[in-house]
Structure 1
Amino acid sequence: MRRLTALPPADAPGKSRQLLDDIIDRRGGVGEMVATMAHSPALLQGYLDFSRAMKRTKLPRTLSEKISLAVQEWIGCGLCLDAHTAGARAAGLSETDIALARQGTSTDAREAALIAVAVRVLAEPSSLSDQDVADLRAHGWSDRIIAELPGLVALNLLTGSFNLLAGLEPTEPAA
C-alpha cells in the first residue's frame, strides 16, 4: 500500500522541482521512486548524486546486478528486485545466475566471495574482519573494488528502504 505520493514537478519543493524538470528534459520522465523522493530536496539530490557516482565503479555490470539482487533479497524490496532482475537479464545474466544471486552466491567462487561480503556489509557489518579483506584480496579483488562495495550496498539500502517506507510496490509480485 502506497504511503507517500509521487509528486509532479509543479507540486514539488523548489530544488526538487528543478531536479525533476532536468530529468524530464533529459529522459522524458521520472520513475515513481524519484518522483516520491521529491518530497525531500536533500534526499533527492543526495540519491541522484550518489547513484551517478556509483555508476563509475570498476565493478562489472553483471556483478553489480548480482550484488544488488543479493542485497535486495535480504532487504525485501519487491520493486528493487524487479528492477535488478530486469537489469540482470539486460546485462545477459541467465535465470540460474539470477536465482543464485538472490540466494547470495554465484557459480564463480571469486564472485561468490564478494557477494557474501556484500550481504554481510548490509546485515552484520561489525562482524567484518581483517581476514574478510584478506580473503577478498586472495580471490583477486582490488582495494578499489573492496572500497566500492559498501557504496553499492548503501545505495541499495537507500532505495530499498525508501521504497518499503513509501509503500512503493511492483505491479505484480517479484519473481
Structure 2
Amino acid sequence: MRRIATLAPDAAPAKSAELLAGIIARHGGAGDMVSTMAHSPATLQGYLDFSRAMKRAAIPRKVSEKISLALQEWIGCGTCLAAHAGAARSLGLSETDIALARQATSTDARETALIAFALAVLAEPSSISDADVERLRAHGWSDRVIVEIPALVALNQLTGTFNLVVGLQPDEPAAAQAS
C-alpha cells in the first residue's frame, strides 16, 4: 500500500522541482521512486548524486547487477528486484544468472566471493575481517572494487528501504518477470 504520494514538479519544493524538471527533460519521466523522493530536496539530491557517482564504479556492470539482485533479495524490495532483473536482462544476463544472483551465488567463483562479501557488508559489517578482504584479493579483485562494495551496498540499502518505507510496490508484470 502506497504511504507517500509522488510529486509532480509543480507540487514539489523548489529544489526538487528543478531536479525533477531536469530528469523529465532528459528521460521523459522521473519514475515513482524519484518522484516520491521529491518530498525532500536533500534526499533527492543525495540519491541522484550518489547514483551518478556509482555509475563510474570499477565493479563490472553485470557483476554490480548480480550484487544488487542479491542485496535486494535480502532487503525484500520487490520494486528494486524488478528493476535490477530488468537491468540484468538488458546487459545480457540469462534467467539462470538472475536466479543464481538472487540466491547470492554465481557460476563464477570470483563473482560469488564478491556477492557474499557484499551481503556480509549489508548484514554484518562488524564481522568483516582481514581474511575476508584477502580472500577477495586472492580472487583478483582490486582494492578499488573492494572499497566500492560498501558504497554499492549503501545505494541498494537506500533505494530498497526507501521503497519499502513509502510503500512502493512493483507493477504486476514487472514483479512476475523478477520472480
- Measure how far apart 1:59 and its partner are: 1.2
In structure 2, the residue matched to 1:19 is 19
How far apart, in 2, do the equivalents of 1:26 and 1:141 lie?
A: 35
The one-letter amino acid paired with 2:48 is L
Which digits, 9 at most, give the CA deviation of each residue in 1:4-32, with x for residues without a partner?
00000000001000100111111111100
Partner residue in 2 for 1:157: 157
Runs of 4+ in 1 over 3 A off after TM superposition: none
Q: Which position in structure 1 is the counterpart of 2:55?
A: 55
The residue number in structure 2 matching 1:69 is 69
| Residue in structure 1 matched with residue 135 of structure 2 by the alignment | 135
SS in 1 for 2:30: coil
1:28 & 1:108 partners in 2: Cα distance? 37
CA distance in 1, matches of 2:24, 2:97: 34
Separation in 2, partners of 1:28, 1:90? 19
Give the structure-1-normalised TM-score.
0.99
Unaligned runs of 5+ in 2: none
Supply the distance in 2 between the matched residues of 1:169 and 1:72 (Cα, whole angstroms).
13
Match of 2:85 in 1: 85
Aligned to 1:125: 125
Q: Distance in 1 between matches of 2:17 and 2:3?
A: 21
3-state secondary structure, aligned to 2:141 = coil
Paired with 2:109 and 2:34, the residues of 1 have a C-alpha distance of 36
- Please state how far the C-alpha of 1:89 moved relative to its aligned partner: 0.5
For 1:20-73, what per-residue CA distance to the aligned partner results, in whole angstroms no more than 9, with x for missing partners? 011111111110000000000000000000000000001111101000000000
- In the alignment, which residue of structure 1 is the partner of 2:31? 31
Give unpaired runs (5+ residues) of structure 1: none
Instruction: Give secondary structure in 2 for the equivalent of 1:107.
Output: coil
Q: Per the alignment, in what secondary structure is the counterpart of residue 93 of structure 1?
A: coil
After TM superposition, the score normalised by the length of structure 2 is 0.96
Q: Give, in angstroms, the shift of residue 171 of structure 1.
A: 1.5
RMSD, aligned α-carbons: 0.7
Q: Identity over aligned residues, as a percent? A: 71
Distance 2:24 2:82 in 1: 23
The Cα offsets for residues 76-127 of structure 1, whole Å up to 9 and x where unpaired, read as 0000000000000110111111011000111100000000000010011110
2:39 maps to a residue whose letter is: H
Tell me how many residue pairs correspond in the alignment.
Answer: 175
Which residue of the partner structure matches residue 103 of structure 2?
103
